[in-house]
Structure 1
Amino acid sequence: MTALRPEVAESDRDGRPGAGTPASESEGTGLVQLHESIAALLASRGQWRQAYQHLRSAFDLVYADQDDPPQVPEQLRREVDRLRREHAEAREQSLRDSLTDSYNRRYLDERLLDIVAERGSTAAGLAIALIDLDWFKQVNDTFGHLLGDRVLQRVVELLQEELPEGGFCARYGGEEFVLVLPDVEPGPAVEIAESARSRVERHAWASLAPGLRVTVSIGLAYEPPPAGGPTRAPVAPEQQLLRADSLLYTAKQSGRNAVAYRANGRVLLAGAASGRRGIAESRVAGY
């Protein structure tokens, strides 16, 4: 971290202030150095707000004897801008899954709460698609975990294609992912989920390893706009995730490689799977 203090005379070898340097000035310089050192330490730990406060204290000490309020020097501006950039980068990294670079569970939970709060003042629908890789344990057992990791990374890339504005993908855990689709109607939400499933199925997986095939099952839960406007409390994110999980169970029990959703009180399968017989019942009572 670049020093903020002006030039002062160096101390003698025995630690006393240099010639012509008052003791109070030396003590002030020491405090400036202390604040700068603490700021650098806090910044290295990601404690950006506290680091900035110590930089500000160092700045105030340097200009404490001036009658007029000093202009913030360019040097301090650069330090603060750097801290803000590093803060933003660290914040973004803390919300990303380290393997797939999709958002992580922490971001999912935070963003869903924000979306639900926003829906309290709007009349927008919300779709949540819970996605699970079919037979992924067999992929790891047959081709190894390193290739399994590459499969997860590629699946995320495929899932994130063609997402609408405001939509995002998050890793829910293991080989499970979530697509969050705000401000959509039921029909387009089903189309987005089915398109994602189809992209995964049609991908050239054999280019990674001969004989490799990957498919996903998807449970799509849709929460319509509040009836009569934003007067009715929206469904909590946990409840909608439970509904999506129940529909994912239906997709798996009905043959996998399918999107299960509910329309007009019935559980249906989308796309190519729509003609299957014996669709499994939902695990959530009354849904």
Structure 2
Amino acid sequence: MTGLGRGITEPEPVSDDDWPGPGGAHMPDGASPDGASLVQLHESIATLLASRGQWRQAYQHLRSALELVHADRTEPPRIPEQLRREVDRLRREHAEAREQSIRDSLTASYNRRYLDQRLVTLLSEWGGKPGGLAVALVDLDWFKQVNDTFGHLIGDRVLQRVVELLQDGLPEDGFCARYGGEEFALVLPAVDGPTAVAMAEAARIKVENHDWNKIVLGLRVTVSIGVAHEPAPGVGVGPERQLRQADGLLYTAKQSGRNAVAYRVGGRTFLAGPAAGRRAVTEPRALAY
């Protein structure tokens, strides 16, 4: 299975070296009742673990069951190819179900659940890496007018195309997630503040300069972006607070005329790119951070 983002990969096929044995093994003739019960116990535990995706632990229990079944044999058992294919299929289905659970059904970007989980993981594993962590919140300008003028089907196509443009050129381990409605989050790990702002401005330009007439004549789409950068992620600033900071800056970009990128340096708010030379920054009256 292929995906638009990183982090979720299709499981590798089971090899002879790590194969634990069939889950439905039967006791040979003459086996003791106690031995049969222990085999069934191992198989039941393996089934439960496999349903949770804990494949390694499930394999250990299946291997134990298989060793009990073949305890009196001098040659190692041969694993039927049908059982091998069945477990490979179950592993693929589990990975696909996991992938679908963290994807937005319309845009195929990651969803809010994945965003929240991944931010927590990034912060917990940061460990003083260079650069920093940037979160950019992106909101389509006047999107209600797009839906009202051209219809919701066109609006859906616009959202899908915007995601494709936002995902183009993301850094390693960076990703795009649908934050809600027509709002998206770009997570940019291991980048400094100026680089994060430059990436956000590049994304804004891509959306503005895209030939939207290919979808429908007269269509124009722009985005506003708020970029919150933390040079030392996790030190006094958690993911919720950084998201609130990005949201406040997004509001500033909207209030300052839209189609702009807003960011903060040294306690002051600025607009990036051409917007910096032609607009005054309109700060919100109160920011919740």
Q: Work out whether residues 128 and 241 of structure 1, in 8 Å CA contact, stay in contact via their aligned partners in 2.
A: yes
The aligned residue for residue 81 of structure 1 is: 88
Deviation at 1:90, TM superposition (A): 1.5
Is the 1:200–1:215 contact (alpha carbons within 8 Å) kept by the matching residues of 2?
Answer: yes
Output one character per residue of 1:98-145: Cα deviation in whole Å (capped at 9) or x when no partner.
110101111100110011112244344111100000111111111111
Deviation at 1:207, TM superposition (A): 1.1
- CA distance in 1 between partners of 2:286 and 2:127 (Å): 25
CA distance in 2, matches of 1:66, 1:157: 56
Task: Return the match for 1:225 from 207, 232, 237.
Answer: 232
Give the Cα separation in 1 of the matches to 2:78 and 2:203.
Answer: 52
RMSD: 3.6
Q: Which residue of 2 aligns with 1:247?
A: 249
The C-alpha deviation readout for 1:157-196, integer Å capped at 9, x for no partner, is 0000111111110000110000000100111111100000
Which digits, 9 at most, give the CA deviation of each residue in 1:212-269, with x for residues without a partner?
111100000111137xxxxx82410000000000000000000000000112321111
* Correspondence for 1:60: 65
Question: 86, 96, 99: which is aligned to 1:92?
Answer: 99
SS of structure 2 residue aligned to 1:99: coil
Question: Distance in 1 between the 2:286 and 2:144 partners?
Answer: 26
- Shift of the 154–254 alpha-carbon distance from structure 1 to 2, 3 Å rule, reads same
**Structure 1 residue 58: Cα displacement:** 11
Structure 1 window deviating more from structure 2 (204-213 vs 232-241): it is 232-241
Residues 1:216 and 2:218 aligned together: no
- Structure 1, gaps ≥5 residues long: 9-20, 227-231
Contact 1:221 / 1:261 at 8 angstroms: preserved in 2?
A: yes
Taking the aligned partners of 2:173 and 2:224, their CA distance within structure 1 comes to 23
* Residue 237, structure 1, aligned to residue 239, structure 2: yes
Which of 261, 264, 273 aligns to 1:262? It is 264
Amino acid at match of 2:164: E
Residue in 2 aligned with 1:107? 114
Taking the TM superposition and a 5 Å limit, the aligned residue runs for 1:29-68 are 47-49=52-54, 53=58, 60=65, 64=69, 66-68=71-73
Matches within 5 A, 1:127-166: 127-166=134-173
Distance (Å, rounded) in 2 between the aligned partners of 1:143 and 1:70: 71
Q: TM-score scaled by structure 2?
A: 0.76
Q: Does 1:178 align with 2:180?
A: no
Partners of 1:128 and 1:175 lie apart in 2 by: 17
Give the greater-gyration-radius structure (CA). 1
